[in-house]
């Protein structure tokens, strides 16, 4: 546990700025320079349980490359035996989600300025061969001057992740912001999918609501595939056109970054962000090895040493794996809905479950198999048909053994030829 007033190296910790599943962000002060930083503290035991070490290393490596005024800067990485500390630029204005919720939509003039900065930052990423893949309001921060800072590159991909077909294949991101081609699970262009997400962000900035939203995941997916959000009449023709071009469900005809920057509406009062890219911005994984050699293994060591030597951060076999929720997961399959449901039923029965079928839902119960009460599990499985060849499978655990639930999830993912969870 990291407490207020605690020191790691030259950094003294203050209040907590935010907290997620596998990390906590605290305000910290450099006791030498007096400068404030935001330190992302990643707990070793929690990352071991959540199976996210690859995302940690990917985010660190990506942020080492990205030095741009509209991207949160990584200053330093430290680690102890139990934690990793990512020392990040301190951004004090909160995130864009909280800004919209508390104050509502922005004027078109102010919204366009933020959008211009967003595109500048994403353009820089794409020019470096990096694709964010989880762009959303919560991952766009605001500094004290109202300038945006893109953050959270844990799901980012680089050009080396493309398969032989020249496309990415991991389904990831937040459902309301995910491009239709990502949901379709047939491969997608990272740049085009980021543009879609930026289009969703632009829509929210200018209207105060999401273009695609529904509590039912199947209905939400259908809306995304249709790609025809309601456009308020009071938006200017230029803004309407920009939103429609960015939220084009066809990634081939969707507007590109180059097209956006050439657009008259975008270019109105446009002042490109001054890039502060440095000589070491092209640092790659080879630089990690050099850094490991140049630091002694003391109480606080460099995180790349820890990644290299710790069993819990073994990266082998972890590429494109996804975490399993404790309670509910959703994943996709290209099989027919009836075939998917029957296969799930067979798997459940083979694992000792009593199964009841009702329409497109299965209810399954497995009694405790030991005196200690371990091995019991109660759950429901439901299949939502998006198209004739695309279905979303939702698995919900009512109560029972988490390890058995994870075992079932893993088996379903493998035997249904399903994509990563969404």
Catalytic residues: 134
In 374-401, alpha helices (H): none
**28 vs 40: CA distance, rounded Å:** 10
SS3 call for 346: helix
Residue 230 and residue 221: Cα distance in Å, rounded? Answer: 16
Angle, helix 402-415 to helix 337-350, in steps of 10 degrees:
140
Quickly tell me which residue has 């959008």 as its tokens.
Answer: 115
Strand partners, 23: 42
**DSSP 8-state assignment for residue 22:** S
Cβ-based neighbour number of residue 109 at 10 Å: 9
The H or E element containing residue 306 is helix 303-309
Q: Measured between alpha carbons, how far is 411 from 406 in angstroms, rounded to an integer? A: 9
Helix (H) / strand (E) containing 30: strand 23-30
Number of H helices, E strands in the chain: 14, 15
Taking CB atoms within 8 Å and a gap of at least 24, the contacts of 304-313 are 304/60, 304/77, 305/79, 306/79, 306/84, 307/53, 307/56, 307/57, 310/44, 312/44, 312/47, 312/48, 312/53, 313/47, 313/53, 313/56, 313/57
- Look at residue 366 and give its three-state secondary structure: strand
Q: Is 40 annotated as a binding residue?
A: yes
CB under 8 A, 24+ apart: contacts of 4-11? 7/31, 8/39, 8/78, 8/80, 8/85, 8/300, 9/78, 9/300, 11/37, 11/39, 11/85, 11/87
Binding-site members are 40
Binding residues for ATP: 40
């Amino acid at each position: 546990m990291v407490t207020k007033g605690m020191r790691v190296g030259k950094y003294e910790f203050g209040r907590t700025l935010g907290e997620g599943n596998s990390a906590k962000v605290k305000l910290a002060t450099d006791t030498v320079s007096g400068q404030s930083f935001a330190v992302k503290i990643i707990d070793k035991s929690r990352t071991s349980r959540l199976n996210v070490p690859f995302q940690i290393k990917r985010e660190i490596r990506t942020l080492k490359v990205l030095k741009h005024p509209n991207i949160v800067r990584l200053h330093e990485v430290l680690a102890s035996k139990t934690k990793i500390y990512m020392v990040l630029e301190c951004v004090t204005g909160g995130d864009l989600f909280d800004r919209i919720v508390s104050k509502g939509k922005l004027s078109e003039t102010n919204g366009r300025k933020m959008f211009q900065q967003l595109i500048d930052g994403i353009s820089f990423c794409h020019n470096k061969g990096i694709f964010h893949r989880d762009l959303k309001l919560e991952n766009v921060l605001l500094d004290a001057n109202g300038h945006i800072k893109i953050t959270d590159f844990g799901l980012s991909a680089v050009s080396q992740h493309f398969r032989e077909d020249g496309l990415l294949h991991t389904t990831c991101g937040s459902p309301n912001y995910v491009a239709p081609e990502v949901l379709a699970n047939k491969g997608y262009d990272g740049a085009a999918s980021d543009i879609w997400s930026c289009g969703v962000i632009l829509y929210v900035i200018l209207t105060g609501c999401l273009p695609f939203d529904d509590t039912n995941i199947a209905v939400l997916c259908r809306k995304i595939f249709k790609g025809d959000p309601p456009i308020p009449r009071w938006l200017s023709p230029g803004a309407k056109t920009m939103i429609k071009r960015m939220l084009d469900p066809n990634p081939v005809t969707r507007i590109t970054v180059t097209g956006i920057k050439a657009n008259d509406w975008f270019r109105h009062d446009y002042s490109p962000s001054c890039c502060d890219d440095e000589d070491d911005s092209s640092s790659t994984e080879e630089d990690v090895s050099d850094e490991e050699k140049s630091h002694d293994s003391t109480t606080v060591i460099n995180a790349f040493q820890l990644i290299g030597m710790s069993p819990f951060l073994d990266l082998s076999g972890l590429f494109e794996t996804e975490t399993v929720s404790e309670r509910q997961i959703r994943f996709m399959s290209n099989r027919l809905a009836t075939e998917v449901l029957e296969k799930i039923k067979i798997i459940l029965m083979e694992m000792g479950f009593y199964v009841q079928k009702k329409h497109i839902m299965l209810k399954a119960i497995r009694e405790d198999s030991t005196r200690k009460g371990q091995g019991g599990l109660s759950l429901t499985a439901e299949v939502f048909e998006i198209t004739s060849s695309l279905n979303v499978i939702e698995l919900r655990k009512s109560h029972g053994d988490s390890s058995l639930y994870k075992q079932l999830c893993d088996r379903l993912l493998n035997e249904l030829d399903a994509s990563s969870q969404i």
